[in-house]
Copies of this chain bind each other. A is one copy, B any other.
């Protein structure tokens, strides 16, 4: 079981990343830091003559990496009660991959297991629930099984260390991941 953590934070070493790293401590995994990639917003050419056009950015390489893994952890801070724009731009581009015959995108994605880690400062355990529901719709569409999510309460750097519930969850995930072959 190969694990990738897709990190949508715009801040280095933020709470979401820290919490994700707790869940993955001691394990081999591929961090995919979206902030370090150039991924442009989708240009919706679904209905244009010729369809989508190749885009000169890092998206295809990111998808190649993603597709090599079995477990995908979507780690995004709660920005304005949703996923970060970095993460959203990445997901929006899936519409292009769905139509890209090189990838067998949907078939391959449907075999993966999805996890979500998200941290926010304003009552996220309530106000990030629409985000969890959105991820559920996303995963359902693409056929990926939505395993679990952790919502952490954190605002300033390292706040997450005070959220006992989130930490306990991350440790439990760590045990689960460790027990997988």
Contacts and interface: CB of A to CB of B under 8 A. Distances in A.
Interface of A: 9-11, 14, 35, 41-47, 77, 79-86, 88-89, 91-92, 94-95, 122, 125-127, 129-134, 136-138, 141, 146, 148-149, 156-157, 164-165, 168-169, 172
Given A81-B137, A82-B134, A10 B172 contact: no
A11 B134 contact: no
Nearest to A142: B80
A41 B10 contact: yes
A166 to B, nearest CB: 11
A137 to B, nearest CB: 4
A137 B127 contact: yes
A86 B165 contact: no
Chain B CB within 10 Å — which of A10, A46, A88 has the most? A88
A157 B125 CA distance: 28
B138 A126 contact: no
Contacts of A11: 44-47
Contacts of A134: 80-82, 130-131, 134
B86 A91 contact: no
A88 B47 CA distance: 23
A46 B42 CA distance: 28
B94 A89 contact: no
B85 A85 contact: yes
Nearest to A157: B47
Contacts of A43: 10
A164 B172 contact: yes
Contacts of A46: 11
Nearest to A10: B44
B126 A133 contact: yes
A125 B35 CA distance: 30
